[in-house]
């Protein structure tokens, strides 16, 4: 075991996190769920979602048997919704092809939707004690600083070098503890801004610290002009005060979630209601735009609030369209901006 791994393990025994929900009763299934949720999401955000998710789906079989709407309903607000869809798809694949047992080989895990090299390594290390390296965002930051690795970690050459360092430092035993230790170090000490170098167990060997460049490593993603998109949405309210939600296509933003209907270019709200609902419009009000940022672009939601004069004459099949009481939390998955608009509407209708 090299000194880097030994120092991390000694530090983690005293200062690491040992009471995270998925650590209390670790199972391959629970670790898998946690690792998927932790992709690009902080522990403090994930913990309550994980606990609710595991109460509702305590076993892999329960997850596989559940409707996708139930899964996405519990995922709402966590973001990166493809993770929830992939988790559900993978659970069904495991039940159908693996007799309900999550694969315990690297090849078997990475064959499942949503499981890449680092997630598979984390599952094998923490659930089975296998010597498998990981390279999530926290680990990339620790290793880039320790080895003074220049360049953005998203570049293939930089990522390859970081994987080599990750493999080199992963010890032959105590792998589960080491995996948690290096993630904890990145999350609590070797933080993105203002790293706590005086509290770091490997600071004396850190090349970035010695060179005084820890604040600028790892390098940031090269700046690109962010794309701007505009989506005109309809907040359609029936005479009973319910609002229309439609399931979005699985491909694209908020795939599989429910949202307000989207208006085609050049179409008026009244035309849409006539075509889709066979309903007459009583009033139309243009609302303030809502901005939402994704990883690669900014989205402007341009809402029109549409009040119907009567109930719709065209009824949906009940799976892809529903009328939601805005004062009642949805049981289906909705994205955070849509949930915020529903709460705002409920507050205003209650005045």
Per-residue pLDDT, 348: 77
- Each residue's pLDDT tens digit, 321-343: 889 999 888 888 888 889 889 98
Please write the tens of the pLDDT for every residue from 41-90: 999 999 999 999 999 999 999 999 999 989 998 998 888 889 999 999 99
How confident is the model at residue 184, as a pLDDT?
Answer: 96
Token pair belonging to 191? 């933080």
182 φ, ψ (degrees, to nearest 5): -70, -30
pLDDT at 318: 54
> Cα(198)–Cα(44) distance, rounded to whole angstroms?
24
227-349 and 3-216 share a CATH fold: no
Averaged confidence pLDDT in the chain: 91
Amino acid 321: pLDDT: 86
CATH number of 227-349: 3.90.79.10
- Token readout for 139 is 């680990």
Confidence of residue 249 (pLDDT cuts 50, 70, 90): confident
Catalytic center residues: 35
Q: Would you say domain 3-216 falls under CATH 1.10.40.30?
A: no
Cβ contact 132:175 at 8 Å: yes
State residue 232's pLDDT score: 92
Give the global pTM: 0.82
Higher pLDDT, 314 or 160: 160
- Where are the domains positioned within the chain? 3-216, 227-349
């Amino acid at each position: 075991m090299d000194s880097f791994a030994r120092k991390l393990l000694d530090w983690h025994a005293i200062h690491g996190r040992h009471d995270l929900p998925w650590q209390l009763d670790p199972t391959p299934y629970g670790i898998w769920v946690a690792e998927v949720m932790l992709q690009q999401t902080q522990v403090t955000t994930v913990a309550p979602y994980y606990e609710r998710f595991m109460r509702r789906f305590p076993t892999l079989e329960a997850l596989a048997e559940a409707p996708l709407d139930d899964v996405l309903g519990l995922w709402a607000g966590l973001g990166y919704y493809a993770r929830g869809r992939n988790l559900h798809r993978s659970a069904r694949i495991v039940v159908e092809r693996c007799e309900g047992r999550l694969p315990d080989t690297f090849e078997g895990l990475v064959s499942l939707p949503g499981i890449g090299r680092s997630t598979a390594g984390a599952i094998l290390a923490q659930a089975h004690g296998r010597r498998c390296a990981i390279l999530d965002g926290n680990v990339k930051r620790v290793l880039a600083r320790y080895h003074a690795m220049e360049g953005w970690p998203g570049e293939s050459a930089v990522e390859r070098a970081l994987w080599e360092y990750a493999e080199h430092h992963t010890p032959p035993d105590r792998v589960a503890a080491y995996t948690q230790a290096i993630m904890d170090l990145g999350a609590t000490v070797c933080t993105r801004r203002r790293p706590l170098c005086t509290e770091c167990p490997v600071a004396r060997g850190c090349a970035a610290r010695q060179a005084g460049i820890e604040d600028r490593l790892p390098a940031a993603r090269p700046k690109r002009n962010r794309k701007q998109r505009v989506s005109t949405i309809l907040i359609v309210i029936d005479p009973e005060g319910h609002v229309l939600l439609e399931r979005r296509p699985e491909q694209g933003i908020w795939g599989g979630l429910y949202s307000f209907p989207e208006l085609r270019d050049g179409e008026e709200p009244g035309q849409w209601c006539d075509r889709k609902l066979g309903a007459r419009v009583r009033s139309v009000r243009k609302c303030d735009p809502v901005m939402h940022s994704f990883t690669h672009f900014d989205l402007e939601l341009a809402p029109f609030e549409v009040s119907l004069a009567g109930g719709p004459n065209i009824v949906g099949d009940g799976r892809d369209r529903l009328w939601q009481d805005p004062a009642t939390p949805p049981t289906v998955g909705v994205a955070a901006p849509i949930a915020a608009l529903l709460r705002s509407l409920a507050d205003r209708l209650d005045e």
